[in-house]
Chain A
Amino acid sequence: MTTKLLTALLLGTSILGSAGVAYAADVTLNIESWRGDDLAIWKDKLIPAFEAKNPGIKVVFAPSAPTEYDAALGAKLAAGSAGDLITCRPFDKSLELYKKGNLADLSSLPGMENFSDVAKAAWQTDDGKASFCVPMASVIHGFIYNKDAFDKLGIKVPETRDEFFAALDKIKADGTYIPMAMGTKDLWEAATMGYQNIGPNYWKGEEGRAALIKGEQKLTDKDWVAPYEELAKWKPYLGDGFEAQTYPDSQNLFTLGRAAIYPAGSWEIGLFNTQAQFKMGAFPPPVEKAGDTCYISDHTDIGMGLNAASKNADAAKTFLSWVASPDFAAIYANALPGFFSLNNTPVKMEDPLAQEFVSWRGKCKSTIRSTYQILSRGTPNLENETWVESANVINGTDTPEAAAKKLQDGLDSWYKPAK
């Protein structure tokens, strides 16, 4: 008897419960993402802000692990169970989804006019005609330094390369600090924080990148080999055993105050603020001589697109327009210092280090990482090879010329620039 009653009760609640949900939530949008770290920010800040303005639309942020994201998303899209909104990786991974018809064309979405062409380039077809993701954030490269160490040793923030190496020499001579915290074990540090960080000053940012894609310049040209020559000079300033130093090792070396300069990406700001017990500052990659135009890597990293098979396309578009608005940009950029909004409307940020990074956009020219657009489509993969060769150059196992030649030969084997 009691069992029956219990069953009836449970049945009753389940029907009532689902009826309640159906009544309250007219439309529920699911967001696919690899940014599990941002779960709290979405739940506590972004989604409530959106839902307050748009009653009737509920949003659920459902991230998966970064390493599983692409495979899981592909499987879900194929099975038709993917969320309405899809967080976009830059360039080819998303372009492939668009070509397969998984991502909808958003060129005419209200709000897209808030973004510059460079910002949109990461989520456009090669001819730039169709855009399929709303740009959300970029990361900027530069150097973060230990202000206390610089003050103690009386070092001025370097602007030119000569000043930069003079500063490194001084730190090394003093011996208290490791001049620069970087390792080559994980390979990508050497490529991303090294080559792509200092490179744009040599190849003149977008100008060189476009010429490389057009085939007018080669990786063996002077402007592309020179960053490797500078990287090779970094070797004596790295810590003992840097060949086996991993990325977390480098982060810890710097935040523990044992290293003076950290070749960085702005995504470090959040972590460094919580861990470092000293004052920090940042400077852009030094130029050749004072007054030269400076170029920074302002790399478009994350965007959001619409699942073409979504049943709630209209509500999803409303949400994407909001993502494209300055409101979203302000909340996002402040919640995640170091992930900078790509919106044309400047965002006021509280974090001083983030402000320093973003201020370079005013005085330097922005570009993105040279290997990301088009050039990493074939085998061998230019980005992966750049990791390996950058580490080889710093380790001293390859000369800058040899490394550049290997990269160009690999690229030549499959890439035929459009004439």
Chain B
Amino acid sequence: MAAAPKRPFRWHIGIFLAPAVLVYTAIMILPLAGTLQLSLFRNIDQSQVFVGLENFRTLFGDPNWSVNFWNALRNNVWFFVIHMLVQNPIGVMLAALLSSPKLRFAAFYRTAIFVPTILSFVIVGFAWKLILSPLWGVAPNLMDLVGLKSLFTPWLGKEEYALTTLSLISVWQFVGIPMMLIYAALLSIPEEVIEAAECDGITGMSQFWKIKLPLILPSIGIISILTFVGNFNAFDLIYTAQGALAGPNYSTDILGTFLYRAFFGFQLQVGDPNMGAAIATMMFLIILGGVCVYLFLVQTRLRRYQF
């Protein structure tokens, strides 16, 4: 045989990649680039003028903007903290219970807990507003039945409770997702490992802590990052339950609602797409930063087990 012919350019790779790349570029990359670009311009006398980082200077330097921004960021962090402290541990716990072979009706519980996840935010926001309503809600009556009526307050209307209440509503809605992911991870742990543990006398709780938990840590990492991205992009629940002004007294204002008001305007406030884009850019950078920290600092150190 003569020398191998020169390999032809492999067009098929490009062609196979093209549909996904084109669609992703058109609906993700271009709008993102557009947003970044918009944040560097300003509308002066009905025309867009390039102003460099002026919009960001306004956002952080002008107290009318910066106070709202830091307030929204602080609220957003709290929103995330509640999810991490409540949603994910409960998700892991539910998954551990579900994967126990002794549990009856596991399929039913799994479905019931997962159902709120597929409900629309509008339905969830509205339903909880009704449940917690001091006038017609079932919450005051139910609490009365167990003699805890005195603990009831109009949670969604109080500055000090509103954000936590909304975070917990969101937890209720989304607890199914960590549960499902962890459940899948638990099921994929090979029987041999469990049997080996049992031979060594590790059963029950200690089996969960010493064998299963380390094996599902990568899944927990993924869930944390999904929660982070989801929470810093959140908007719908606050908007449907509290409105765009995120009352009372901006106590439930998160970056999403702050962006909405700036970009689209609200009532008499005329929308300012450029400032809106500046806020959107900050959200993008915060999320990007968080994801990078996870990818480079956390994920590389997680130990993986190959079976």
Q: Taking beta carbons and an 8 Å cutoff, which residues of A are in contact with B?
A: 70-71, 91-93, 96, 100, 183-188, 239-246, 249, 252-253, 371-372, 376-377, 379-384, 387-388, 391-392, 395, 397-398, 410, 413-414
CB interface residues, B 202-224, toward A, < 8 Å: none
Q: Which of B65, B159, B268 contacts A397 (CB 8 A)?
A: B159
Chain A residues, Cβ within 8 Å of B36: none
**Can you sample 6 A-B contacts with CB below 8 Å?**
A96-B270, A241-B140, A242-B154, A379-B65, A384-B268, A413-B64
A187 in contact with B245 given A244-B155, A245-B157 (CB within 8 Å): yes
Q: How far is the CA of A380 from the CA of B267 in the complex (A)?
A: 13
The count of chain B contact residues (Cβ–Cβ below 8 Å) is 34
A245 in contact with B135 given A92-B268, A380-B64 (CB within 8 Å): yes
CB <8 Å contact, B264 and A381: no
Task: Report the nearest A residue to B261, measured CB to CB.
Answer: A384
CB <8 Å contact, B157 and A242: yes
Interface centre among A92, A100, A241 (most CB of B within 10 A): A241
Total A-B residue contacts, Cβ distance less than 8 Å: 112
Chain A residues, Cβ within 8 Å of B159: 395, 397
B269 an interface residue at 8 Å Cβ cutoff? yes
Q: How far is the CA of A216 from the CA of B46 in the complex (A)?
A: 32
Interface centre among B136, B140, B249 (most CB of A within 10 A): B249
CB <8 Å contact, B247 and A388: yes
CB <8 Å contact, B134 and A381: no
CB <8 Å contact, A249 and B64: no
Q: Taking beta carbons and an 8 Å cutoff, which residues of B are in contact with A?
A: 46, 63-65, 129, 132-136, 140, 153-159, 242-243, 245, 247-250, 261, 264-270, 272
Nearest Cβ in chain B — how far from A321, in angstroms?
A: 30
**A184-B157, A371-B268 known, 13 other contacts, Cβ within 8 Å:** A93-B270, A184-B247, A185-B154, A186-B243, A241-B134, A242-B134, A243-B156, A244-B132, A244-B154, A244-B158, A246-B133, A384-B261, A388-B250
Task: Report the nearest A residue to B140, measured CB to CB.
Answer: A241
Nearest Cβ in chain B — how far from A249, in angstroms?
A: 5
Q: How far is the CA of A414 from the CA of B243 in the complex (A)?
A: 26
A241 in contact with B245 given A372-B268, A410-B64, A413-B64 (CB within 8 Å): no
Q: How far is the CA of A253 from the CA of B266 in the complex (A)?
A: 28
Q: Which of B157, B243, B249 contacts A244 (CB 8 A)?
A: B157
